[in-house]
Amino acid sequence: MDARDWLILQLLYKEKNITKAAKSLYISQPALTNRLQQMEKEFGVQIVNRGRRGIQFTPQGEYLAKCADSMLLNLQQIKEHVLNMEHTLTGTLRLGVSNFFTDYKLPGLLKLFKDQYPDVEFKVATGWSSDVAHSLYNQDVHIAFVKGDYNWHDQKRLLFEETICIASKQPIDVHNLPNLPRIDYHQDHFLKTAVDNWWAENFTQPPLVSIQVDKADTCKKMVENGLGYAMLPHMLLDDSEDIHLIEMKTKDGIPLLRKTWMYFHEESLKINIVKAFIEFVEDIDLRRIH
């Protein structure tokens, strides 16, 4: 069994379909089937049962498929430690990145780092901050960029804070918000809680949500076209023209802030490429990266 075999098992268990798994691996279906038969011969067990509705893993096959994740991670870590023994900075940096950071900061950050360390490659997984934090906990990534204060007990660095604003195309009276059309989007847990608490502190009636979208960027475009107001992070609005902003504050006058963190395991600092990247991020002003 080599790394390719474990990857086949991992993808096949995920897809439950030989054709889809073969397509993901860029190999032919007969080649994948042949490799699967070789694995069954090597272990002396049947790994899958084939039927008209696809495949089903046998108990032995399911056990092997679940081992694939840890085997591939171990192989990756072995490779990283071997590369770490070299004096030159090389290898693949695995990053977990929240959607907002991916859209607005990551491309510029990776370009600057790549300019300085051209032999470094990147493997980036994006998603909601909660999923990214989970990936780091499972050591699927070296470093995670997340929004909000997650229960992370290892190393972390606060990258920046940004205020939350009420954004609208035309000037509005904050006291009249319950009567105005609001545009909402899928927010991370911490931002949604902060906004909901602010609303409950100021109004007794619910907001008039007229449009619900998935992404903050789509929400911003709706605001720019005068379709309603929205509660958005200030950094998202830096490139918007003719948008009126009202900084959201608590009754005590404290601004609503959203924090962006860099999380990582302390033990990962032993890997040269990870240590170099963390120090690089610490030394630059991320607010100036676009």
> Mean pLDDT of all residues in the chain?
89
Question: Tens digit of pLDDT for each residue in 10-46?
Answer: 888 888 888 888 888 888 888 888 888 888 888 898 8
CB 190 within 8 A of CB 243: no
Query: In the predicted model, what is the mean pLDDT of residues 113-118?
Result: 92
What pLDDT sits at residue 135? 92
| Band of pLDDT at residue 91, cut at 50, 70 and 90 | confident
In the chain, ranges of CATH 3.40.190.10 domains: 88-158+260-288
Pairing of strands 155-168, 230-233: antiparallel
Q: Mean of the pLDDT values across residues 185-210? A: 92
Q: Which residues make Cβ contacts (< 8 Å) with residue 166, sequence separation at least 6?
A: 172, 174, 177, 229, 230, 231, 245, 246, 248
End-to-end alpha carbon distance in the chain? 44
- pLDDT tens for 191-202 read 899 999 999 999
* DSSP H or E run through 63: helix 59-84
pLDDT of the residue at 22:
85
DSSP sequence for 200-215: HHH-SS--EEEEEES-
Do residues 195 and 164 touch, judged by C-beta distance below 8 A? yes
In which residue ranges of the chain is CATH 3.40.190.290 found?
162-258
* 88-158+260-288 CATH choice from 3.30.70.100, 3.40.190.10, 3.40.50.300, 3.30.1490.100: 3.40.190.10
| Domain 3-83 fold | Arc Repressor Mutant, subunit A (1.10.10)
> What is the CATH code for 162-258?
3.40.190.290
On whether the CB atoms of residues 267 and 136 are closer than 8 A, the answer is no
CATH 1.10.10.10 spans which residues of the chain? 3-83
Q: Which residue has the higher pLDDT, 274 or 240?
A: 274
Instruction: Note the pLDDT tens digit of each residue in 120-179.
Output: 999 999 988 989 999 999 889 999 999 988 889 999 999 999 999 999 999 999 999 999
Residue 227: band (very low, low, confident or very high) from pLDDT cuts 50, 70, 90: very high
Task: Please tell me the pTM assigned to this model.
Answer: 0.69
Residue 264: predicted pLDDT: 96
Tell me the angle at which helices 18-25 and 29-43 cross, rounded to the nearest 10 degrees.
100
Calpha distance 8→4 (Å, rounded)? 6
Distance separating alpha carbons of residues 130 and 145, to the nearest angstrom: 10
The distance between the two most distant Cα atoms of the chain, rounded to a whole number of Å, is: 74
Residue 124 to residue 130: CA distance in whole angstroms? 16
